[in-house]
Amino acid sequence: MGEGVGEIFSMKKNKQSLFSQNKHKIRLSAIIIARNEEEKISDCLKSLAWADEVIVVDNSSVDSTYSIAKKEGVRVVKASEKYVLRYSKLRNLGLEKARGKWVLYVDADERVSPELRKEIQPILSGKCLLDSGVVAFALPRRNFIFGFEFKHVGLWPDYVIRLFLKEKLLRWEKDLHEEPVFEGKVGHLESPLIHIKHKNLTEMIDKTNGWSDIEAKLMFDAGHPPMNVPRFLTAMFREFWLRMIRQTAFMDGVVGVIYALYQVFSKFISYAKLWEIQVARRKS
C-alpha cells in the first residue's frame, strides 16, 4: 500500500510559531477551510510553513481548531454561521481576504508534500516558464483511508484544481462539490498533495450523515423525480458498477472493497433522504 502516513513528510516546528510576519511581497496565500479539525489542523499548518501568508477560514468550529490556528500565528477568519457547510462561500471568503499573487487551497485534512512544495516554488518566483494562458494548476492527491493508501476506486491520481493566479480566479460555485470559475487554462503538476481522508468507519459515517443532508436537499431543489423502487435499484447498481468494476476497487484489497461498498451505502442514504423530503412535502 506504499509508505505509511507518518513517513510522508517531516517538518520541524519553531519554538514560538510556525509563521512570522513576512516583510517581502506576498507571492502565495494558502487558504485552509476548517471545521472541527483540532486533530489535523496542526500537521496541515506545518506543511505550509513556507507560504508567505496562511489564512484559516474557521467554519463555525466548536472544538480547539480556532485557538490552535491563532496560536500558530496565522490569519484566522471566523465565517458566519450561515456559511456552515457551504463550501463555495467559504472558499470565496478566503479568496477575498488573500493578499498573495497566487492562492493555494488546502483542506485541513490535506498536507503539501515536500516534493509539491519544490514544484510550486519556481512557479511563484517566475523561474518556471508557464505555457501561454495557464493560470491554474491541478494537483494529484494521494488518498489515505483507514491508514492505507488507495491506488484505485477513483482515488489516484485524483486531480484537484487548487493553485490559482489570484487575479484570474473569479469565484467558486456550488455548495457541494464546489467548482472554481477562472479565466485561462489549467496546467498539471506531478508532485502529490497528501489527503488523510478518514481514519475509521465511525468518522466516515459521521461525515456522510452531514453531506447526505446537503446532497438530498440539492437534488430535491433541482426537481429530482420521485424516488421509487426502480430508481433506488438502478442508482445502487450504477454506483456498484462504477466503484467495483470500472474503478477496480478490489485491486486495493479488503479496504478497497469496504470503501466501494460503503460508497454504494452512502449513495443509498442520500437518495433515501431525498425520498424522505419528497414524502414530507407531499404530505404538507
Whether 238 shows a pLDDT value over 60: the answer reads: yes
The answer to whether 15 touches 79, Cβ cutoff 8 Å, is no
Q: What is the pLDDT of residue 23?
A: 47
pLDDT band at 24; cut points 50, 70, 90: low
Q: What is the pLDDT of residue 87?
A: 87
pLDDT band at 197; cut points 50, 70, 90: very high
Whether 210 shows a pLDDT value over 90: the answer reads: no
pLDDT band at 25; cut points 50, 70, 90: confident
Strand-pair category, 160-165 with 134-139:
antiparallel
Whether 3 shows a pLDDT value over 60: the answer reads: no
Highest mean pLDDT among 15-24, 118-127, 207-216, 270-279: 270-279
Nearest to 145 by CA among 260, 259, 249, 262: 259
> 137 forms bridges with which residues in the sheet?
163, 187
pTM beyond 0.95: the answer is no
Strand-pair category, 148-149 with 141-145:
antiparallel
Whether 11 shows a pLDDT value over 70: the answer reads: no
> 55 forms bridges with which residues in the sheet?
31, 75
Assigned C-alpha cell, 42: 496542526
DSSP 8-state assignment for residue 246: I
DSSP 8-state assignment for residue 85: T
Domains of the chain plus CATH, in order, are: 5-197 (3.90.550.10), 201-283 (no CATH)
Whether 20 shows a pLDDT value over 70: the answer reads: no
Q: Which residue has the cell 485524483?
A: 158
CB neighbour class for 77 (10 Å; exposed up to 12, middle 13-18, buried from 19) = middle
The answer to whether 88 touches 174, Cβ cutoff 8 Å, is yes
